[in-house]
Amino acid sequence: MDAITLKPYQQKTKEETITRLLRGEQALIGYEMGLGKTFTSLSVGLELLESNRIARIMVCAPASLLPNWVESAERVGVCICTHSYDCRTPPIIDEDYLIILDESQCIKNRQSARWKRLRPALLKTSFRILLSGTPMPNKPVELFTQLQLLGMKHSWTYFTTRFCDGHYSFIWVGGRRKKIWDTSGASHIDELKCLLWERGVTFLSKEEVMTDLPPLKHYVHWVPRTSKGRKRQRGSVIEYATTLVVERIANAHVWAKVVELCKAEPRTIIFAKHVEIANHLETITCAAHIETTTITGASDVKRRQGMLNTAARLGHVAICSVGAVSTGFNATQFTQLVFVESSWSAGDRMQCEARIHRIGQTHECSAHYVFMKGTIDDRLWKTLLRKGTTISNVHAR
């Protein structure tokens, strides 16, 4: 691995991972975003290739990240094949392949077509490395499928009862009560942490290995609501949140704060969830004479990293959708994030913040959340903080 020199913590993880793979076990590298999961896993693959332990390396990842993997593999000097999680056909895998599953939280839903399509193929080889800065974006149930790939034998019922406080409850669907198996909780966290350690999960935070990384400061700006809006009815949280898009667009206080923040610090990425909000951001910033580059789900996946780089070089504010740019991209040229909307996923929030707060960042960073008082934003922020606490407890050593 001539082009890249591994840091001591990466070298240690590499050696531990190779040892596990040669014992017929698997591993999940759970470094926080920006600590070098890509090159650590590629170095594992390179050594296994050179010792003829494997025949090929296949990387499975979201389509938007595959160009980055090809570029990284070229730097290391290793040949890889790639497969998008959303490809309609499963990958062709032999037992002597090393499979690297980047952003493995993308296969957290055991009922999804993606998981059902990928699982049989992935189990054909015992050489599996999972990578994720947020393997549990919100709650322990999201670890079940990943732990299955790591060799866990617990059944769904046992796992959710033991670690997710699984129980029957009722929800309202179409005006009727429906009985469901509720797996939204967390229980026996210390035992879960032992299970993760036994199955080869390595968590590592930036604070543990990057003492010279500049701080990331958080600010929450509560602006007044300009309309009373519609009272939320029971069981219609998602519908209610969607109706707030129109109200948010009409709220001049939101956009005044966004413009103020962007003019104070041009090296800014603005995150939104809805395309209507992103479109309105273009209108608002144009009227304020702020040059912007917009990256959404409609942007070419192969060009997104280049678009970020170009925006930074030209001094543009980047308007990004959470889904398009939250994972896998390096944006250390920027120093400020502004969220005019936020996902309900604590993992999404962590991923977005890690675009700028990672290896290579030399300036103090800030993350600003612009919320409307008296709306579902209140509940959203409290939920994110609660989920963040659960994630921290699971990750803690």
Q: Tokens in use for 268?
A: 């800014």
- Residues 280, 250: Cα–Cα separation, whole Å: 10
- For residue 381, pLDDT over 80 is answered with yes
Q: What is the DSSP letter of 7?
A: P
Lowest mean pLDDT among 56-60, 256-260, 389-393: 389-393
Q: What are the tokens at 115?
A: 């998981």
Q: Where are the domains of the chain?
A: 8-209, 216-395
Q: What is the mean pLDDT of residues 30-54?
A: 94
What's the rounded mean pLDDT across residues 9-34? 95
Beta strands per DSSP E along 150-233: 167-173, 176-182, 201-204, 216-223
What is the CATH number assigned to the segment(s) 8-209?
Answer: 3.40.50.10810
Do the two domains 8-209 and 216-395 of this chain adopt the same fold? yes
User: At residue 309, does pLDDT exceed 50?
Assistant: yes
Give bridge partners of residue 167 from the DSSP assignment.
Answer: 182
Residue 307 pLDDT level (bands cut at 50, 70, 90): very high
pLDDT at 229: 54
pLDDT given at position 116: 95
DSSP state of 94: -
Indicate the residue type of 46. L
- Let me know: does 213 contact 18? Beta carbons within 8 Å: no
Radius of gyration of the chain (CA): 22
pLDDT band at 345 (very low <50, low <70, confident <90, very high): confident
pLDDT at 241: 56
> Whose CA is closest to 368, among 256, 220, 267, 260?
220
The pLDDT-based confidence of 327 (bands split at 50, 70, 90) is confident
HSE (CB half, 13 Å, CA atoms) of 217?
5
Is pLDDT at 261 greater than 90 in this prediction? Answer: yes
- Residues of the chain with pLDDT > 90: what percent? 70
pLDDT, tens digit, 9 for 90 and up, residues 202-256: 999 888 888 888 999 999 999 998 876 555 444 455 555 567 888 999 999 999 9
The DSSP annotation for 184-232 comes to -----HHHHHHHHHHTTEEEE-HHHH-TTSPPEEEEEEEEPPSS--PPP
Which residues lie below 8 Å from residue 292, measured CB to CB, with a gap of 6+? Answer: 281, 282, 285, 286, 311, 316, 317, 318, 319
Token match 């990958």: residue? 91
Two structure tokens written together for 334: 């920027």
Query: Cβ of 240: how many Cβ atoms within 10 Å?
Result: 16
Nearest by Cα to 196 from 129, 157, 139, 151: 151
pLDDT above 50: residue 2:
no
Give the pLDDT confidence of 134-177 residue by residue, as tens digits. 999 999 999 999 999 999 999 999 999 999 999 999 888 777 88
What mean pLDDT do residues 181-202 have? Answer: 95
| pLDDT band, residue 201 (cuts 50/70/90) | very high
Q: Is it true that domain 216-395 has CATH number 3.40.50.300?
A: yes
Task: Specify the pLDDT at position 233.
Answer: 46
Length of the chain: 397
**Distance of alpha carbon 134 from alpha carbon 151, whole angstroms:** 19
* Mean of per-residue pLDDT scores for the chain: 91
Work out the average pLDDT over 129-138. Answer: 94
> Which helix (H) or strand (E) covers residue 299, if one does?
none
Per-residue pLDDT reduced to its tens digit, 67-111: 999 999 999 999 999 999 999 999 999 999 999 999 999 999 999
Lowest mean pLDDT among 52-66, 215-229, 358-372: 215-229
Average pLDDT score over residue span 346-358: 90
Q: What is the pLDDT of residue 1?
A: 43
pLDDT of residue 198: 95
Q: Which two tokens stand for residue 356?
A: 């700028």
